Amino acid sequence: MNRRLAILLLILSGLPLGAQTPAASAPVFVIAPDDGKITFYVKASVALSGDFRQWDATLNCASTDPSSCALDLKVQADSVSTGSGMKDDKLKSKHFFDVKVDPLITFKSTKVSRHGPNAFDVAGIFTIRGVSRPEILTLMITREGPAEGEIKGQMAFDRREYGMTSGIPFIKIADRVEVNVDLKVKRVSGPPLDLKN
């Protein structure tokens, strides 16, 4: 009798008799900083390249369509490492990253466009030393198993457009800065992204 009453109440309430939780329609990803890296390179009279030791990245998708995804990066500017204490201090100073005033370097995607089977252009807002401008991050996605993959990409910007007009003593450096990302991605739930097209 109690079971019949429960079924009747479900029918009257308009609820389905099956499972009450809808099936997941979008993948959920995690990106572990320990397994990836964010590096940079500037053409100079003396080698000027390095990486950032502290950063976070998120990949959120509304569906299995890659164009529905948003990739956001948040880098601790103070974690820059070039292998030279002099270069690190100069990059952290007010003439470059100005880490005491603006400790974060960020990229917040606004649109993802496919231009190949696994190739994408990610338009977004790049912010460094408090200056924000639109930039494009070009990415390649590679599957490394049923639930894991790698995202590699590059973005280039003109440092002078962000107020970094100074140089480094005795080192001639170019204006163009190349940023490279290598992210290890793991799908923890939901269906895989559709990379067939």
Query: pLDDT by residue (tens digit) across 6-18?
Result: 443 444 444 443 3
**CB of 127 within 8 A of CB of 116?**
no
Residue where the block lists tokens 């008799």: 17
Which tokens in the block code for residue 19?
């499972």
For β-strands 119-128 and 80-81, DSSP reports them as unpaired
Report how far residue 176's alpha carbon sits from residue 157's, in angstroms, rounded to the nearest whole number.
Answer: 6
Helical H segments across the chain, by residue range: 2-13, 85-92
Q: How far is CA 60 from CA 17, 71, 168, in A?
A: 31, 7, 39
Closest by alpha carbon to 65, among 158, 186, 193, 196? 193
Report how far residue 54's alpha carbon sits from residue 104's, in angstroms, rounded to the nearest whole number.
Answer: 10
Please give the average per-residue pLDDT across 174-197, as a whole number: 92
Query: pLDDT by residue (tens digit) across 41-52?
Result: 999 988 899 999
List Cβ neighbours of 185 (8 Å cut-off, separation of 6 or more).
29, 30, 31, 59, 148, 149, 150, 151
Query: pLDDT by residue (tens digit) across 141-173?
Result: 998 888 999 999 999 999 999 999 988 877 889
Q: What is the pLDDT of residue 11?
A: 41
Q: What is the pLDDT of residue 22?
A: 37
Q: Which superfamily is assigned to 23-189 in CATH?
A: Lipid/polyisoprenoid-binding, YceI-like (2.40.128.110)
Domain range summary for the chain, segments of one domain joined by +: 23-189
Helix (H), strand (E) at residue 27: none
